[in-house]
Structure 1
Amino acid sequence: MSLLTNERLGISGATARKVELRPNWTEDDLQQVFRAAYEHVFGRERVYVNGVFASAEALLRDGRINVRQFIQILAKSEFYKERFFYNASQVRFIELNYKHLLGRAPYDQSEIAFHVDLYASQGYDAEIDSYLYNPEYDSAFGDTVVPYYRGFQSIPGMKTVGFNRMFALYRGNGNSDNAQYSGKSSRLRQQVAMNLSNTISASALSLGMGSYQPSGRLNLAPARGDNRVYVVEAIVGGVGTQVAVVRSRQRYLVPFDQLSQRYQEIHNRGGKIVSITPA
């Protein structure tokens, strides 16, 4: 896809990001690996890492483990479990494992069923290892490359539906996997179970917004005179003051072509976007 198309789809920050720890690496190279690994595996939650994996970093620096094993440590950690396992549905957990460890979305019900059965029979560690030690991971990343989002590209063995499904899981690098629409529930359960394709919804990144409720298929080039109207709900008040001020929740009816302008106005006033839904 072209750079312009990637920007309109909100995936320009996720495509072709390949970070590899090659022989004769420098400390700067190693730091790039750490940053890429935390960003991809934990997403927005990476901001809370803050030394949690110092021992694992030391092992990689000393050459006692490789990049694949470093990713394995991250995915088997309590840090990962607390954010993506304990409070999530089982199917949501599997979706996130595909996203974080293989860089794509699950294609069909057979892939979901395989991992449900694997976890039930062999447990958590076997579930994580099944993504990291298989021919697909070998071919895509091997022992030296940090996993990255491959689901937006043409990859060997990829089903066409995988491209659409990836949009249901990836909502921009600044978006939390635990704070998206649907909370910690599955994003793909219904479409996968019914063997249906997902619609492609504009990401929060592509519209420049922090909270977005999907509303159908994305129009890459909206026609002139687009008459869609959205309800923007925001919390406003209390900006520029050090005293306690009541902040109120307000709703605005905003035409499609004025969404970006309204978003900026709200944030310039110290407000926070709560939701954006079709009127």
Structure 2
Amino acid sequence: MSLSMEQRLGISAVTNAKIELRPNYREDELQQIFKAAYEHVFGRERVYVSGIFSSAEAMLRNGKISVRQFVQTLVKSEFYKERFFYNNSQIRFIELNYKHLLGRAPYDQSEIAYHVDLYASQGYDADIDSYIDSQEYNNAFGDNTVPYYRGFKSIPGMKQIGFNRLFTLYRGNGNSDNAGTKSPRLRQQLAMNLPNMIIPPSSAIRFASVLSVGQLNTSPVRGDQRLYVIEIIAGGVGTKVAVRRSRQVYTVPFDQLSKRYQEIHKQGGKIISITPV
């Protein structure tokens, strides 16, 4: 018996994974929505979810929020931030947002730059909303369908290179997006507008060996000399005593933005403004 293309590439389990919450749903159908959302957004990390989102589940069950809003709640949660935001580079975080929210990989460097600038100017929630409130999300999933890996099939407006790129981000349902290197998987190919090699998740080639091919190597984005001025109110981590917080200003190069964001958040600081020089 010959294997289908999806089976040979190791993606048959996710190519037809569209799950929609229809009117007059049963409880078991609602449970499938919860399971699919946790699996797609958190991957292997879903095993730690139990009970965390019971309030959001109740709101969806009672018709107070849509599936889209349920997904939005997951991605704006501290649980999601701890898994994918605080410990990853900014570009890696953007890769994961495209994967988790739009079911595809970013196509080119302009999509990365857009979200870096949006986060810098408007913050975390606005950046997440830009995916979920986008026309692309609306056309693909609407209000009642859980996001899924649609980038493995031909979709309207999709660039062919996106098919290759998604294989680099998707390593199978058993893989954790929170494991391994925190560096971007696509930065070199995006910056140089190069295609990615297709290495199926089910391949006998170990994930670590892909590094030797050069697929996951990263390098600074060439020619990007942008600088940003970050104004913050310094935090007082580890103390309950009221203290006068000082205002501080930093000039940060583009490739250090992510690291500085994370340092500020971890130290309890508050970003007042980020302005390009």
**Does TM-score exceed 0.5, indicating one fold?**
yes
CA deviation after TM superposition for structure 1 residue 14, in Å: 1.4
Structure-1 residue corresponding to 2:23: 23
CA deviation after TM superposition for structure 1 residue 3, in Å: 5.7
d(CA) in 2 for partners of 1:24, 1:156: 30
Amino acid at match of 1:192: L
Structure-2 residue corresponding to 1:198: 196
CA deviation after TM superposition for structure 1 residue 27, in Å: 0.2
CA contact under 8 A between 1:165 and 1:188: conserved in structure 2?
yes
CA deviation after TM superposition for structure 1 residue 90, in Å: 0.3
d(CA) in 1 for partners of 2:40, 2:200: 21
Amino acid at match of 2:84: F
SS at match of 1:30: helix
Deviations 1:153-174 (A, max 9, x none): 0000000100000011000011
Amino acid at match of 2:209: Q
CA contact under 8 A between 1:151 and 1:166: conserved in structure 2?
yes
CA contact under 8 A between 1:106 and 1:162: conserved in structure 2?
yes
Asked if 1:213 corresponds to 2:216, the answer is: no
d(CA) in 1 for partners of 2:55, 2:114: 33
Structure-1 residue corresponding to 2:55: 55
CA deviation after TM superposition for structure 1 residue 212, in Å: 4.6
Over 3 Å counting, the alpha-carbon distance change for 1:45 and 1:143 in structure 2 is same
CA deviation after TM superposition for structure 1 residue 10, in Å: 1.2
Amino acid at match of 1:213: S
Asked if 1:159 corresponds to 2:155, the answer is: no
Structure-1 residue corresponding to 2:99: 99
Asked if 1:188 corresponds to 2:191, the answer is: no
CA deviation after TM superposition for structure 1 residue 187, in Å: 0.2
d(CA) in 1 for partners of 2:124, 2:150: 24
Amino acid at match of 1:49: V
d(CA) in 2 for partners of 1:201, 1:210: 10
SS at match of 1:112: helix
CA contact under 8 A between 1:191 and 1:198: conserved in structure 2?
yes
Alignment of 1:1-279 (within 5 A): 4-180=4-180, 183-203=181-201, 205-207=202-204, 212-214=208-210, 216=213
Count of aligned positions = 212
SS at match of 2:11: coil
Deviations 1:186-240 (A, max 9, x none): 000000001111111232x343x885532659xxxxxxxxxxxxxxxxxxxxxxx
Identity rate of aligned residues, in percent?
72
SS at match of 1:171: coil
Amino acid at match of 2:34: F
Over 3 Å counting, the alpha-carbon distance change for 1:55 and 1:3 in structure 2 is farther
Amino acid at match of 2:14: A
Over 3 Å counting, the alpha-carbon distance change for 1:211 and 1:200 in structure 2 is closer
d(CA) in 2 for partners of 1:3, 1:135: 36
Deviations 1:83-104 (A, max 9, x none): 0000100000000000000000
CA contact under 8 A between 1:3 and 1:12: conserved in structure 2?
no
SS at match of 2:151: coil
Deviations 1:55-99 (A, max 9, x none): 000000010000000000000000000000001000000000000
d(CA) in 1 for partners of 2:26, 2:158: 35
d(CA) in 2 for partners of 1:210, 1:52: 34
d(CA) in 2 for partners of 1:159, 1:147: 19
CA contact under 8 A between 1:7 and 1:206: conserved in structure 2?
no
CA deviation after TM superposition for structure 1 residue 184, in Å: 1.3
d(CA) in 2 for partners of 1:54, 1:91: 31
SS at match of 1:213: helix
TM-score, length of structure 2 as denominator length: 0.74
Structure 2 residues without counterparts, runs of 5 or longer: 215-277
